[in-house]
Amino acid sequence: MHAVQHALLLSDVHLSLEAPDITRRFLHFLSTQTSQARALYILGDLFEVWIGDDAPGELGMQIAAALRQLARQGKSIHFMHGNRDFLLSEHYARQAGMQLLDDPCVVYFNEQPVLLSHGDAWCTDDVEYQQFRAQRSQPQTQAQFLQRPVAERLAFAKNARDASREHTRNSAADIMDVNPDAIEQAFSEHDISTIIHGHTHRPADHQYADERQRIVLGDWYQHASWLSIDADGIHRHGVTI
C-alpha cells in the first residue's frame, strides 16, 4: 500500500520522435513543476509506442535520464502500463528510476484511498479492442514479438498505430469511452469513492451518487496536463509550455 502526501498524476503523454513539442513539454514539466511533489504517477501511454526495453532509442534514453534525475532528488516515480507502452518492463523501469504499478491499483493519498488505472480495461463496449488487448497481454505473444528483429517490430508497431487510428475514426464515440457498468463494478469491487484514469483523452470530473467521483486525465497533444493531490484535495492543471 502506497501512502502519499503530495503527488502529481498524468497519462497519455504519447512521446515520440515525430512530436518534439511534446518531448520539450514533458521535460520542461519535469524540471519546473515537480519541486514540491513527493511522488509522480504516470498512468500509461508515456510513449506513443514501445517495442521493447532492448530498443529504447535516443528518445527513450533521454526520458530515462530525466526521470532518473528526478528520482535522485528523492521523488518516487511510479509507472502503469498503457495500451501503447505495455511492453515496457523492469529493465527500463530501473534505468528510469521508476517502480511498476499493477493496473488497477489502490493508492492512499493523505489517508484517502484512490483507485488508479490506465482505463482501457473499462472500455468494454469496444469488443474488437478488448479482444486485441486480451491477445497482446499473453506472455507467449509478447515473448514472440520481442524475439523479432527491431526493424520488424517497428514496422509492426507502425501498422498497428495506423489500424488503431482507423478503428477510432470508424467507431461510434460512445464505445470508445469507459462502460458505466464497468465503472460501477470498479467502485464496488475496490470499495472506494475516487477513481482516476486516463486513456480516453476526455478530461472531465464525473460526479456520482454517495459523493463518488471519477477523474479523467487529459492528453499532452496541445499542452501539459496533470493532476496534483495534496492536503487541500485534487487539483487539475493544464499549462501551455
Please tell me the pTM assigned to this model: 0.94
Q: What is the pLDDT of residue 66?
A: 98
Q: Does residue 1 register a pLDDT over 60?
A: no
pLDDT (tens digit, 9 = 90+) per residue, 17-43?
A: 999 999 999 999 999 999 999 999 999
pLDDT band at 2 (very low <50, low <70, confident <90, very high): low
Q: Does residue 238 register a pLDDT over 90?
A: no
CB 104 within 8 A of CB 117: yes
* Residue whose cell numbers read 488503431: 164
Q: What is the pLDDT of residue 145?
A: 94
Q: Does residue 170 register a pLDDT over 80?
A: no
Q: Does residue 241 register a pLDDT over 80?
A: no
pLDDT band at 174 (very low <50, low <70, confident <90, very high): confident
pLDDT (tens digit, 9 = 90+) per residue, 181-197?
A: 999 999 999 999 999 99
Q: What is the pLDDT of residue 239?
A: 66
The CATH T-level fold of domain 2-239 is Purple Acid Phosphatase; chain A, domain 2 (3.60.21)
CB atoms inside a 10 Å sphere around CB 182: 14
* Residue whose cell numbers read 499549462: 239
- The DSSP-derived string for 10-69 is E----B-TT-HHHHHHHHHHHHHS-TT-SEEEEES-SBS----TT--HHHHHHHHHHHHH
pLDDT (tens digit, 9 = 90+) per residue, 64-79?
A: 999 999 999 999 999 9
pLDDT band at 202 (very low <50, low <70, confident <90, very high): very high
Q: What is the pLDDT of residue 194?
A: 98
